[in-house]
Amino acid sequence: MPSPNTVNTADTSTPTAHLLLPFAACADDSWLLTMKAMPAEQTRHVAKLLQGMRPLALDAAGAQSLSPPHERSLARVQGLVAGDLLDGLIPWAAWERAQLDRMNLPAKTQAWAWVTPCHWAMGREHATLTDPAALALSEADSHALMAAMQPYFNEDGITLHDAAPQRWLATGEVFRGLPTASLDRVLGRSVDPWLPASTHSGSATGPGKTLRRLQNEMQMLLYTHPVNEARSAQRQLPVNSIWFSGTGALPASGGKPGAARSVSAPRMLADAALRGDWPAYAEAWGAVDALARGLLARQAAGEVLQLTLCGERGAQTFESVPVSWQARIRGMFKPGPLLGWLEPL
């Protein structure tokens, strides 16, 4: 793998496309086995694309950060952070609200959060957060659950808003400055280290404790709710808890509305990895390689492209070098296994 200092290829051109790959690397031991067993041919276009690129700054914050590397990278591209990125405070919910109604100027100054109805699988020692999408919650059931919860949220100055059956929006001052863990950090894992009361330093009456109390109250409410009684009768998993994420308020700039169109962040690798489906993960790399094949022609035509490979610990962005340098770099470095680019992440 070429060193960041191999060739001086400074280029101030604006990238015309940015491919960002969440979970291109994973901490699971099965990931390494999968990558080693995967033929190089399956990712040859990705490797060739990287040959015509130079590495930019490495983003490494560790596997215990509340905001995973792919969310940090995407937030910077979209202008959702001003200055230093604060862990667990990427205002994804506020961003979504702004996209739903760009003319609602007060929403740009309010603090928002995502509230996700979910199922916690209860074990002897801890609860594991399962994929909320697997609940296949209907709109009618989602509305019924949200209506039942709203009076409890009102007591803490929080208003729930219907965004989609699988995820609601909530607004309230409690979410301003309160870090929360991304669902991508928690899925398939024990919830305990990621709960708001665990991740927020404050007094016993701080905002993290408020959200934890609300979670407890909703768990009791949901235990006997008619929606869950009907789901149990149909042998469906109950909705037995909620998860808060995406907290915060938009920066004064409100983000860069056009930036989201210049970056593509397909989820095929992430979805397979979070399910622990490693054969599907290997197949997903084939789909990613097809995307890279399409980008190669654009790179050869002189377009400035970016590729961000994201793991659970860090993310590395690469940018196309001028065409005049690409032949030299490819002559210096033959396409190697993709694993060499990913292991540091």
**Residue 162 backbone dihedrals phi, psi, to 5 degrees:** -75, 120
Does residue 235 share a domain with residue 90? yes
Structure tokens at 300: 């050869």
Does residue 21 share a domain with residue 164? no
**Residue 4 backbone dihedrals phi, psi, to 5 degrees:** -55, -20
In a domain, 2, yes or no: no
pLDDT at residue number 330: 53
Does residue 29 share a domain with residue 129? no
CA 24 to chain centre: 12
pLDDT at residue number 312: 95
Does residue 92 share a domain with residue 23? no
Contact between 112 and 98 under an 8 Å Cβ cutoff? The reply is no
Instruction: Provide the 3-class DSSP secondary structure of residue 315.
Output: strand
Per-residue tens of pLDDT for the chain, all 345 residues = 333 333 333 344 688 899 999 999 999 999 999 999 999 999 999 999 998 898 997 898 888 999 999 999 999 888 887 667 789 999 999 999 888 765 444 455 789 999 999 999 998 888 999 999 999 999 999 999 999 999 999 999 999 998 888 999 999 999 999 999 999 999 999 999 999 865 544 444 578 889 999 999 999 999 999 999 999 999 999 999 999 999 999 887 655 544 444 789 999 999 999 999 999 999 999 999 999 999 999 998 889 999 999 999 999 999 998 866 555 555 444 545 788 889 888
| Domain span at 118 | 82-248
In a domain, 237, yes or no: yes
pLDDT at residue number 71: 96
Residues near 68 by beta carbon (within 8 Å), at least 6 away in sequence: 22, 182, 184, 185, 310, 312
CA distance 155 to 81: 30
pLDDT at residue number 341: 86
The Cβ of residue 333 has, within 10 Å, a number of other Cβ atoms equal to 14
Instruction: Provide the 3-class DSSP secondary structure of residue 159.
Output: strand
Instruction: Return the DSSP state at 73.
Output: H
Does residue 53 share a domain with residue 157? no
Helices (H), the chain: 29-37, 44-51, 69-78, 92-100, 139-154, 183-186, 196-199, 207-223, 226-233, 268-275, 278-300, 323-332, 339-342
Q: What count of Cα atoms within 13 Å lies in the side-chain half-sphere of residue 329?
A: 26
Residues near 223 by beta carbon (within 8 Å), at least 6 away in sequence: 240
In a domain, 306, yes or no: yes
CA distance 61 to 74: 15
In a domain, 270, yes or no: yes
Does residue 123 share a domain with residue 231? yes
The string of DSSP letters for 166-212 reads TEEEEE-GGGTT-----HHHHBTSBSGGGSHHHH----TTSHHHHHH
Residues near 311 by beta carbon (within 8 Å), at least 6 away in sequence: 23, 24, 25, 26, 27, 69, 342, 344, 345
Pairing of strands 241-248, 17-21: unpaired
In a domain, 5, yes or no: no
In a domain, 135, yes or no: yes
Q: Please tell me the total count of domains within the chain.
A: 2
Does residue 295 share a domain with residue 211? no
E strand or H helix at 308, and its extent? strand 305-310
Does residue 174 share a domain with residue 219? yes
pLDDT at residue number 225: 96
Domain boundary among 213, 248, 283: 248
In a domain, 116, yes or no: yes
Does residue 237 share a domain with residue 95? yes
Does residue 336 share a domain with residue 215? no
In a domain, 9, yes or no: no
Does residue 208 share a domain with residue 92? yes
Does residue 290 share a domain with residue 163? no
pLDDT at residue number 181: 96
Angle at alpha carbon of residue 191, lines to 174 and 84, rounded to 5° = 50
Domain boundary among 248, 280, 302: 248
Domain boundary among 248, 282, 306: 248
